[in-house]
Amino acid sequence: MLTYGLFLNMGSNLGANTEEVFQLTREQAELAETLGYHDLWVTEHHCIPFGINPSAITASAFLLGATTRIRVGTAVTLSPLHHPLELAERASLLDQFSHGRFDLGIGRGGYLKDYELFDVDTSRWDREPVHSAQTMVDIWRDHDLSAQSPQSGQSQFQPEPYTKPHPPLFLATGSEEGVSFAAEHGFPLQHYFSTEAASRVKIEARYREMNSAPVEHIHTLILALGANEERLRESLTKSLTDSFKSGDWPAVPQAVPRHTDGNGQQLDRADMAKRVAERAIVGPLESVRDQLDQFVETTGAARLVLYMEAIAEPSITRQSIVSFAEAFIQ
């Protein structure tokens, strides 16, 4: 059975000011809970207009407190910028307060600026998110922190998780090491909204070579409902062009180009926006239904997370959330 969630990136182009951006976030969360969506996923960026939420875990805490049923997760917490013990503690804390409604998704990001701002060596990018995931799993399993920090002596991890053996953990990774680790532990993967369906299929095929058990990976998709598909794609292309431009900082040197042309060269931001907009699921209800069916048939996805605010027109976002729920959820 398919489940549907919302992807909340909180870009600065969603409102005239910061207050309006976060007000739209709260409205989406309230609508999603009322209308029966399964989960909310929040991003984390630092000092770029593309996304003005600097803490996925803090935003998750607020949304968990503002809701009673819906699951809330991070997509993603930038694990290289956090100590894994701190991540394990905060995840357990939210797991306890929410009675098991919190999902921790971690990834390493790709903006060099994140590492420069926090004075984190980019060599840490190479070890993530596997290093943090393994450390957290060890902490949650053993509760003995002396193995992580021998100088601390016999220190007991607190608080223990509500969910056993630990809060659900998701990895946003396509690297060989990352996919292997996730498959070994049965951790689901998170696919970013701009990742092509064919790439998702290849990554999951590698995963299944090591773990054939059914796993519900997270598939994020841009979606907007409306009668005029052409107009929606034009608006989406414009909003994505503005968004990608606002996040156009140098990539971490080790990062492999993910959006390339026929010659393997990295696309510029404008061309990338056009390509992503062309693959987005937009249009009237029946067209959206057909596009979704095709995506699910191609990927085998069972857990869809919809990026409805990507179009940067709050009225369309609100109406899409309601209309989609009426057709697919209620």
Q: What is the pLDDT of residues 81-124, one digit of tens each?
A: 999 999 999 999 999 999 999 999 999 999 999 999 999 999 99
Task: Output 236-240 pairs: Cβ under 8 A, ≥24 positions apart.
Answer: 236/277, 236/280, 236/282, 236/310, 236/311, 237/273, 237/274, 237/277, 239/13, 239/310, 239/311, 239/312, 239/313, 240/273, 240/276, 240/277, 240/310
At 144 the pLDDT is 75
The residues pairing with 222 across neighbouring beta strands, listed in sequence order, are 307
The span from the first CA to the last CA of the chain, in angstroms, equals 14
At 259 the pLDDT is 78
At 155 the pLDDT is 83
Question: pLDDT under 70 in the chain at which residues?
Answer: 147-153
At 150 the pLDDT is 64
At 147 the pLDDT is 66
CA atoms within 13 A on the CB side of 196: 10
d(CA 144, CA 148): 8
At 154 the pLDDT is 72
